[in-house]
Amino acid sequence: MSSATPDFGTPWGEGFQQSLAKSWGQAMQHFQTIDLGGLKSGTAPTGAPLQFSQEKLNTLQGQYFKDASELWNQGLQSSVQVKDRRFSGEAWAANPMAAFNAATYLLNARTLMGLADAVESDEKTRTRIRFAIEQWVAASAPSNFLAFNAEAQKKAIETKGESIAKGIQNLMHDMQQGHVSMTDESLFEVGKNVATTEGAVVFENEFFQLIEYKPLTAKVYEKPFLLVPPCINKFYILDLQPENSLIRYAVSQGHRTFVVSWRNPDESMAQKSWDDYIEHAAIEAIHTVQAITGAPKINALGFCVGGTILSTALAVLAARGEKPVASATFLTTLIDFTDTGILDVFIDENFVKFREQQMGQGGLLKGQDLASTFSFLRPNDLVWNYVVGNYLKGETPPPFDLLYWNSDSTNLPGPFYAWYLRHTYLENNLVKPAKVKVCGESIDLSKVDMPVYIYGSREDHIVPIGGAYASTQVLPGKKRFVMGASGHIAGVINPPAAKKRSHWLSEGSKFPADVNSWIASAKEVPGSWWTDWSDWLKTHAGKPIAAPKTYGKAAKYKVIEAAPGRYVKVKA
């Protein structure tokens, strides 16, 4: 090996050194020949040997030998300390061999990730390699295998094999339902203990049902409020339980509230396009709320992909000379797709062309495929954690409304999905004036001139904080940007009564191009951002008027059924 190889200075040093050299050589050989399944791009075609920075390689090699030597000495003294929650149980600490095995795994995992960082290539290729190695490393953890998991073995002995039998039952159950259980799904039912805010469906077409909620105040603001959730999930993430429901909170603040409940597409919708969703869903919902309430202008909110849909609909309406929305709220929304975070590893011309050929002219993207993709963005937390608990330890995961919602997947029409991939993630066309037509209109977001409230979550792995912030550089109206703590969902669903987390505000109207410059000027405010948003929305909601006594309006918008309606109950 190189001159970075240390002299261990022990009677067993030569043999140990040779063993380490062999391990290092095997790691290098494996890394050089690894097939990343089409994730390589640019100058490194699939199957070609990777080139490394020699300086980084020498540093990494030296650190590997140093750490391995220290680990071996700890192992001889039975004093191996493992700082990783996967191996934090007492059973790991009480079993020196298991602790040593876990520490060795962590050392090798760090080294492999270091090798990924040492690859000489463009940044996207390095990111793709890191992602592929991360998946392999997460899957190969000793905690994932009964033969190496000290905790699972201890539990099997204590329960006289009952935990193993229960684990097999859990495995068979999950195989039948088609996904790994993240919670005890038998304890939840939509309309019974999630999505329970009182209301009624007052309109429906083949794309969505429009739900109107019963007022909780004697007076409501004259401008009604419409929520457009993501169509890649079900709307009740905004209405999980009464105490953490953003929908119920809006109603309690005096807003006459409506929400779009998307239909879960089946084969009858396999030809539906992005244009269809804009024209016959988002725009139709805006016009229907106007018709029901008689209000010339409404306020609207878009969450995640719902925000992208809402902004596109507003651009189409602006091109037609219509401005029916007085203010818009965008929660963890990408409009400018320059910074898409880890999802960028999947996107290139070949991948998009494949999807276009596969389903661009018709077909369905199955909900479980999409759900699995998002889960593997955080493999240890959202995949292997449940594999270990459910199958190796025979545990039933605790009830958790958010994870029940997360498992309630939705399909997407193929043409809709293919258009979305190309024109947003790949080509970022929405922010290029007149670059793309939607519903026959040239899109120009500079014409979407209205007050906007933009929220981003600091640790969001789906819509990075920089991606959410980028909307401040695109939308021309008066803006307020707020950053919340936590991730894509937990950051948004943060009711004031919980007194959890913080949010950050920077008073003033300046929005520098770099989100980090904005963050440097922002001040931390303890607690939920909901109260700040509510105070902002009230300034755009008009005067208070008497709350309606009935749902809908006259003969055209009669009550169809009670909320949450039947669309949201359809399984993918």
- For residue 566 the two structure tokens come to 């039947």
| Nearest CA-CA partner of 243 in 495, 46, 443, 67 | 495
Q: What amino acid occupies position 572?
A: A
Residue 307 near residue 331, CB atoms below 8 Å:
yes
Return the SS3 of 536: helix
| Nearest CA-CA partner of 561 in 191, 188, 189, 300 | 191
| Residue 476 CB neighbour total at 10 angstroms | 12
Residue appearing with tokens 């409404």: 298
181 CB-near residues (< 8 Å, 6+ apart): 170, 173, 174, 386, 390, 397, 407
Query: Does the annotation mark 231 as catalytic?
Result: no
- What are the residues facing 329 on neighbouring strands? 301, 453
Residue 359 near residue 365, CB atoms below 8 Å:
yes
Residue 540 near residue 451, CB atoms below 8 Å:
yes
- What are the residues facing 210 on neighbouring strands? 203, 260
Q: Determine the Cα–Cα distance for residues 2 and 61; give it in Å rounded to an integer.
A: 8
State the DSSP code for 52: B
466 CB-near residues (< 8 Å, 6+ apart): 339, 515
Q: Determine the Cα–Cα distance for residues 136 and 376; give it in Å rounded to an integer.
A: 11
Q: How far apart are the first and last CA of the chain?
A: 55
Strands 257-262 and 298-303 turn out to be: unpaired
Residue 141 near residue 104, CB atoms below 8 Å:
no
Q: Determine the Cα–Cα distance for residues 251 and 345; give it in Å rounded to an integer.
A: 40
Residue appearing with tokens 């040239």: 442
| Residue 95 CB neighbour total at 10 angstroms | 16
Biggest CA-to-CA distance, the chain: 93
Return the SS3 of 480: strand
Name the active-site residue from 82, 133, 304, 418. Answer: 304
Burial class (CB in 10 A: 0-12, 13-18, 19+), 317: buried
Catalytically active residues are: 304
